[in-house]
Amino acid sequence: MKHPQTLLSTTIALLSTALWADDHIEEIVVSDSQKNHGQLLADIARRTAADSAQLLRTLPGANVNSIGTLSGIAQYRGLSGERVAVQLDGAPVFSGGPNAMDAPLSYAPSLLLKQLSVTRGIAPVTAGQESVGGQIEAQLDRGTFADSEAFSGSAKLSSQYQSVNNGNSSALQAQLANRNHKLALLTSYDNGNNSEFAGGTLAGTQFERNRYDLSYGYRNGDIDALFYVGKNNTDDTGTPALPMDINFIDTDLAGFDITASIGDWKINSYASYSDVSHGMDNFSQRQAPPSPMMFRSIDVQADHLAFGVNATTKNRHGQWQLGFDTSRSDQDSDIFNPNNSAFLLRNFNDIERDIDGLFAQWSTEASAWKLQTGVRYNQIDASAGEVAGVAVPPPVVALANGFNSSNRDLSFSYVDLVAKANYTLDSHRSIEIGIGRKHRAPSYQELFLWVPLPITGGLADGRSYVGNLQLRKERNDEATLGFSWQTENGYFTPQLFYRRVDDYIQGTAATNAMVNMVSMALSGAPALQYNNVDAELYGIDAGYGFAINQHWRLNGSLSYVQGKRRDGVADNLYRLAPLNHRVALNYQKQQLGLSIESLLYAAQNDVAQFNNEQATGGYGLINISASYDLTDSLVLSGGIGNLLDKHYRDHLAGYNRNGNSDVAVGERLPGAGRSLYLAVELAL
């Protein structure tokens, strides 16, 4: 959903970026939505992360839960997965896989990105249907309209290599445009082998992805329209934090975004559609199970349709934005054994999850104050068909029968409220206060996972879970207090936040004896069941930067979050990023750019006991990079990540499930070792 936002550029880190792109080369902005501080721009060709989600690490409060090389799940202020609204070109992105192997940002390869932004603080009600954990938006670089009636063409070729996994990424962006029409073709290819770390090889980190996108844009007077179709194909890609790897994810994409002015109203409408065919198994890309009867493969078919309209108008009382949005999601998922044709586990059958929303937002300015208030109503309907287990033990059949005899048509409704106030102290300083009440209905996995399995929407804690048809919706009450200081030469934007969550959904010990019997037989451990608990999250994050002189600049970000149960159980929430700080010293003179970056992560000892979460030690990394503009259209760049070849464990990485690796099964996945990267970009 479109909404007004401004952009605060923060640290553009080495190995996720290099700095000060040439004006003649297309650029990418990695930003959070706050104040414009003289944007620090990064050339796409200087990215080394094939997964765009890794770029979130450069933003205050943001991070990424890594379950595979192309399967990074966005985290913001301790919340992740379906709690964070992710949009691509203004429309919500749907993850078709039940374990989020096709995480939303995997549909936006970094070489094709124009912009990746995070809405700082509480997301407005216009940001998306379910955005309790914030809003992230990616935009593909589909070029721009020309200034004349004559058509002109342009193209950009990008390629990069990194030694840590012999990874290669290449992209082509071509367009033909005049003042009113724009035709763009985007294509990219990413592939790589297993990643090296300081001490060995991390198996199951190979990857391969193809992305295609064809779009047509039209602009004339008060009409601005974009229509697109695309494909995203991922093949033979490891996910070592999960019990299976990706054999294929074939996704067809289509949509439009149209804006038109009618009288005093500006009308925006969008639609997006995705159709996902997804296959995975536990034997072809990792050490196979010891018994042929333990071989498993899963076929998933899923589709998602989203549509929304909003209208904006201004009068003497301020600006009003009114709208509605709707989404329809369907999924089927079957588990097979290729060595036993009789075996079938229909774990998700005829799943439907539909959301209809209405919202209104009002904003105004009065003297030194800027005010914004909004209200949203959502209706969520979730249902599941009958499930089955064929050639399975009697307890599994009993669980299927119990699920089939239950009420599987569920509804949730709620009202979200958001209010923000910004007070300008002077031309350089301002204070922002925000309060909000937001809700989230349970996901289909949390409701309809009838047999204990490690299918959790990417939670990847190694435990087996079972759903709960009695779950209540989550209620999040949040308050933020922020300060912004900005001059031509520097900025500093700290923000405090506190979130109280009633009926937070997480796994607790399952009490059903049959569920635990099945779980013990399948995984050797009792199951966790999704249940409602009470929780709280709080912390502080900040971005900062200043120009030392004409050629030297310092940029950094700091993030801290703490999450705990508050229902009498002394436990921490699962998979929260530890205190971390990133700072980069950058030099730019004419065609030459240099950067040295320090990345510090504290130890994380506040771990979730119910998830058997392992503590991690602190670590520090040093990265260096350089770039040189050979011409106005040709840029070369390179650098070294993890310069000292540090052995470390990222707390947000999962636990190894791949037996072929130099990392023991059950150990936290280590971070990548020293890596040389080289990149080139040519504008035609």
Confidence grade of residue 76 (pLDDT, cut at 50, 70, 90): very high
Report CA Rg, the chain: 24
Question: What mean pLDDT do residues 342-370 have?
Answer: 96
Question: With 0-12 CB in 10 A as exposed, 13-18 as middle and 19+ as buried, what is 659?
Answer: middle
User: What token pair was written down for 39?
Assistant: 């944007």
**What pTM was computed for the model?**
0.92
CA distance 553 to 597: 12
**In this predicted model, what pLDDT tens digit does every residue of 601-612 receive, in sequence order?**
999 999 999 888
Query: What is the Cα–Cα distance from 345 to 158, expressed in whole angstroms?
Result: 44
* Cβ neighbours of residue 321 closer than 8 Å, sequence gap 6 or more: 3, 126, 310, 311, 312, 359, 360, 361, 362, 363
Q: What's the CA angle centered on 440, arms 436 and 445, to 5 degrees? A: 160
Is 369 a member of any domain?
yes
Let me know how many helices (H) and strands (E) the chain has, helices first: 3, 37
Q: Is 105 helix (H, G, I), strand (E, B) or coil?
A: helix
Q: What is the mean pLDDT of residues 562-588?
A: 95
The region of weakest confidence among 255-259, 363-367, 434-438 is 363-367
Say how many residues make up the chain. 684
In-domain check, residue 244 = no
Query: How far apart (Å, rounded) are the C-alpha atoms in residues 574 and 610?
Result: 9
Q: Is the dihedral of CA 3, 310, 79, 301 positive or negative?
A: negative
DSSP three-state, residue 447: helix
Angle, helix 513-523 to helix 394-404, in steps of 10 degrees:
130
Q: What is the DSSP track for 626-676?
A: EEEESSSSEEEEEEEESTT----B-TTB-B---TTSSS-TTSBPBPP--EE
What's the confidence (pLDDT) of residue 12? Answer: 26
Residue pair 78/539 in contact by the 8 Å Cβ criterion: yes
Count of structural domains, the chain: 1
Average pLDDT on 634-660 reads: 94
Sign of the four-CA dihedral 461, 466, 468, 469: positive
On the question of pLDDT at 582 being above 90, the answer is yes
State yes or no: pLDDT of 415 exceeds 70: yes
In a domain, 197, yes or no: no
Specify the range with the lowest mean pLDDT, choosing from 38-42, 159-163, 498-502: 38-42
Q: Is the sign of the CA dihedral 7, 11, 15, 19 positive or negative?
A: positive
Sequence-distant (6+) residues with CB within 8 A of 659 are 286, 287, 665
If pLDDT is split at 50, 70 and 90, which confidence band does 63 have? Answer: very high
For 268, the enclosing helix (H) or strand (E) is: strand 265-281
CA quadruple 490, 626, 24, 232: dihedral sign? negative
Mean pLDDT to the nearest integer, 295-312: 97
Q: What is the full DSSP assignment across 62-75? A: EEEEESSTT-EEEE
Cβ atoms within 10 Å of 153's Cβ, excluding its own:
12
Instruction: Confirm if 355 and 399 have CB atoms less than 8 A apart.
Output: no
The C-alpha angle with vertex 135 and arms to 130 and 140, in degrees rounded to 5, equals: 120
Q: Are the C-beta atoms of residues 459 and 480 closer than 8 Å to each other? A: no
Distance CA(636)–CA(682), nearest Å, equals 9
Is 307 within a domain? no
The mean pLDDT value for 290-312 works out to: 96
Residue 223 lies in a domain: no
> What is the band of 47 on the pLDDT scale with cuts at 50, 70, 90?
low
**Between 500 and 7, where is the model more confident?**
500
| % residues pLDDT > 70 (the chain) | 93
The set of residues, in sequence order, having a beta carbon less than 8 Å from that of 373 and lying 6+ positions away, is 361, 362, 363, 417, 418, 419, 420
236 dihedral zone (left: phi>0; alpha: psi -120 to 50; beta): left
- Does residue 606 lie within any of the structural domains? yes
- Residue 597: give the domain boundaries: 8-174+284-294+312-683
Answer yes or no: are the C-beta atoms of 672 and 195 closer than 8 Å: yes
Q: What is the pLDDT of residues 610-642, one digit of tens each?
A: 888 999 999 999 999 999 999 999 999 999 999
Angle (nearest 5°) at CA 601 between 108 and 65: 35
- State the maximum Cα–Cα separation within the chain, in Å, rounded to a whole number: 74
**What's the mean pLDDT in 368-373?**
96
Q: Are 641 and 679 in contact (CB under 8 A)?
A: no
> How does residue 264 score in pLDDT terms, banded at 50, 70 and 90?
very high
Q: What are the backbone angles phi and psi of residue 488, rounded to the nearest 5°? A: -65, -25
Q: Residue 56: count other Cβ atoms within 10 Å of its Cβ.
A: 25
3-state SS track over 274-312: EEEEEEEECCCCCCCCCCHHHCCEEEEEEEEEEEEEEEE
Is beta strand 490-492 parallel, antiparallel or unpaired with respect to 528-547?
A: antiparallel
Tell me the CATH number at 622.
Answer: 2.40.170
Distance CA 345, CA 363 (A): 52
With a CB cutoff of 8 Å and minimum separation 6, the contacts of 73 are 53, 64, 65, 66, 67, 80, 81, 100, 103, 458
Tokens at residue 378, please? 């959502």
Distance CA(76)–CA(71), nearest Å, equals 16
Is pLDDT of 36 > 80? no
For residue 611, what pLDDT is reported? Answer: 87
Q: How confident is the model at residue 269 (pLDDT cuts 50, 70, 90)?
A: very high
Instruction: For residue 184, give both structure tokens.
Output: 């763009």
Name the token pair of 160.
Answer: 């990069």
Residue 678 belongs to some domain of the structure = yes
At residue 72, what is the residue type?
G
pLDDT value at 53 more than 60: yes
pLDDT band, residue 331 (cuts 50/70/90): very high
pLDDT for res 239: 96
- Average pLDDT of every residue of the chain: 91
Classify residue 104 by its DSSP letter: G
Strand, helix or coil at 398?
helix
Calculate mean pLDDT across residues 57-86.
94
210 in a structural domain: no
Structure tokens at 488: 């031509």
User: CA 414: distance to chain centroid?
Assistant: 25
Is the pLDDT at 249 greater than 90? The verdict is yes
